[in-house]
A and B are shown apart, each in its own frame.
Chain A
Amino acid sequence: MIARLRFHRAAPYVLLFGLLIVLTAIAYFATTAREATAASDVSADDVMSGEKLFAANCASCHGLDAQGQDGVAPSLVGVGAAAVDFQVGTGRMPMQASGPQAPVKPVQFTDEEISQLAAYVASLGAGPAIPTDEMVDPELGDAAVGMELFRTNCAMCHGSIGGGGALTQGKYAPSLLETEPRHIYEAMLTGPQSMPVFNEANISPEGKRDIIAYLTFQEAGSAGGAALGAIGPISEGFWAWLVGIGLIIAATVWIGARAR
């Protein structure tokens, strides 16, 4: 037997309204929580730990007070948390040996240690902060706009799809195809090593996200098949000369040889 329950006519609307409030609240707390982790609400403890890590791992070049040493390492006052997150988070720092290029290598610190180092360096002077997850989400960017920006500002060094390219005297612009979106953003913001700075006034935060979307789009690969490192005519020419002409020569020799 089914009990016939009677509801007030407004009940569905009240329920819907209630649900809306709950969802909004959840969404609000979720975003603020994420922003909090991304911007890493800095505690005095973090700065203290960061200072110790700095003294042990970075001070030999950058100096105990992070003021830098002429001809050895730049001052880190005012470079901001973003620079630390990029340099240490991609393994570029601490450098293994001084040279023209600071190459990517296995990361030496945990995420927590990196955020502590970042907190310490950020406490030395105002500088660019680490971008939030939303700022670097390729899903939110426009790859077509990103391509236009990339072509004007980045492609001359990093190649048309970010495969990288050579600079002078052993320096090079690295490939961006495996770089994390956050690190791409931070590199534009801080101008690491040879790279110039592309601040928020030059390429807007939305523009930077569009560039990230364009680079992420490259992960699908090239419709033409093997990209051969996407570094342009060098690898393609190498392939054509060695494999293509090699095959032609092999076929010619085979045709001309006397059969047994």
Chain B
Amino acid sequence: MTHHDDTSLTTEVEDTDVPAGFTDPGVADHEPRQADVDPKADRRAEWQVAAMFGISIIGTVIALVGYFTSDLDGSVASVRSANLWIGLGIALAMAGIGFGAIHWARTMMRDHEMVEERHELRSSDETRAAAIQNLKDGAADSGLGVEKFGGVRRRGLLKGSLITALAIAPLSLLVPQIANMGGDWDISKFAHTLWTRGTRLARDPEGTPIKASDVTIGSVFHVIPENLYESEHWIEEKAKAVVLLLRLKPEDLNIQPGREDWSFDGIIAYSKICTHVGCPVALYEQQTHHLLCPCHQSTFDVANGARVVFGPAKRPLPQLPIAVDDEGYIVAQDDFAEPVGPSYWERLTHIENEEA
């Protein structure tokens, strides 16, 4: 680095595209700051920096006092006041040092413009030639090259074993990964849920069964299988089996062909897992019969087989066929007829076909 003292620098390379009159304007003239010329301004800046460091010191004291005097009795108010004083103190302590240091550098430290000249990027011819010779020597020395060098014999065995080693080494990383993925190809677990013939629909989270007479028009029940908590992995099972149970006025409900006996007197049950990326679809607008997914605004029309009326979801919510048992409780007729959850499981349709 050199101090810049010549403003009439010109570019070395003459480029014909550049207008003849173009010259490097160089850096702007150095303007002295107030603190450079006025001792009073210098003194003032000094005090300003000292004041900022002072604020930092006060901040540290506030944070420490806040820490030692806060009486955290478990109430929200006590946590808030502790957070406020400790946070405020730390903020002042850090900001005071930072602002003070910058202000010091800006106003009182030297501010002469500097120019750092670029050096030639290309190495000298001798260096380049020496580097290439090094590589050649190394290749010849290894005996892997085609030409014989200084009596070193060709090492075909080493060449072959090295290439083999390099070629198969990635397998040590790839094979376990692919094999682990293979464990997840057990797709049947996505095609089946806890629902079976006769499983009662129960309230989430209590697990108490629901009677058909409980479900009045306009109601929505968040539902789990009654035997959910008996399952060893009940959280995983819940993630697949959650259902929304609703009752519409029977005249509002357009029952889908082939599903005539899947609902009961306007009571209808759909999977709560969005067919887009699997969020719980649970924002139910009672008047429009629209069911909205909070993640990407997919909207399903529950009066018309939960078909998609808006948003990125590609297929309707799977419907759970329900019936009413002897005691008046709502039960499932069977598992879902299609995989629940995101659309990419559509490729599992062959499972349905197998079972059919």
Contact = CB atoms under 8 A, between A and B. Distances in A.
Interface of A: 148-149, 152-153, 156-157, 165, 167-168, 171, 173, 191, 193-199, 201-202, 220-225, 254-255, 258-260
Given A168-B292, A196-B218, A225-B80, A191 B211 contact: no
B282 A156 contact: yes
Interface string B282-295: 11111110101010
B205 A148 contact: yes
A223 B79 contact: yes
Interface residues of B, number: 45
A171 B288 CA distance: 11
Interface in B69-106: 75-77, 79-80, 83-84, 102, 106
B299 interface: yes
27 contacts: A149-B205, A156-B280, A168-B288, A171-B285, A193-B287, A194-B285, A194-B286, A196-B284, A197-B216, A198-B220, A199-B214, A201-B211, A201-B213, A201-B214, A201-B216, A221-B76, A221-B77, A221-B80, A222-B76, A223-B76, A223-B83, A224-B83, A225-B83, A225-B84, A254-B102, A259-B106, A260-B34
Given A153-B222, A199-B214, A221-B77, 16 more contacts: A148-B205, A152-B204, A152-B205, A167-B283, A167-B285, A168-B299, A173-B283, A191-B219, A194-B286, A196-B286, A201-B214, A201-B215, A201-B216, A202-B221, A223-B76, A255-B106
Interface string B112-123: 000000000000
Contacts of B216: 197, 199, 201
Contact of A156 (B84, B215, B294): B294
A164 to B, nearest CB: 12
B345 interface: no
Contacts of B310: 168
B83 A197 contact: no
A222 B204 CA distance: 27
A196 B80 contact: no
A149 B310 CA distance: 29
A197 B218 contact: yes
B77 A220 contact: yes
Contacts of A198: 219-220
B246 interface: yes
A221 B34 CA distance: 50
Nearest to B109: A259
B346 interface: no
Nearest to A192: B286
Contacts of B211: 201
B222 A152 contact: yes
A201 B220 CA distance: 11
Contacts, number: 91
Q: Taking each of B210, B217, B286, which has the highest tally of chain A beta carbons within 10 Å of its own beta carbon?
A: B286
A55 B3 CA distance: 92
Contact of A191 (B75, B280, B286, B297): B286
Contacts of B299: 168
B107 interface: yes
B279 to A, nearest CB: 9
B315 interface: no
Nearest to A194: B285
B252 interface: no
Q: Which of A149, A167, A197, A259 has the most CB of B within 10 A?
A: A259
B314 interface: no
Interface in B207-264: 210-211, 213-222, 246
B111 interface: yes
Contacts of B35: 259
A196 B76 contact: no
Contacts of A254: 102
B220 A196 contact: yes
B203 interface: yes
B286 A156 contact: no
Interface in B31-89: 31, 33-35, 75-77, 79-80, 83-84
B166 to A, nearest CB: 47
A255 B214 contact: no
Nearest to A226: B80
A255 B290 contact: no
A165 B295 CA distance: 13
A258 B107 CA distance: 9
A206 to B, nearest CB: 11
Contacts of A259: 33, 35, 106-107, 111
A224 B83 CA distance: 8
A136 to B, nearest CB: 21
B217 to A, nearest CB: 8
A196 B217 CA distance: 9
Contacts of B204: 152
Contacts of A193: 286-287
A191 B220 CA distance: 10
A194 B204 CA distance: 22
B219 A202 contact: yes
Interface in B143-166: none
Contacts of B215: 201-202
Contacts of B246: 196
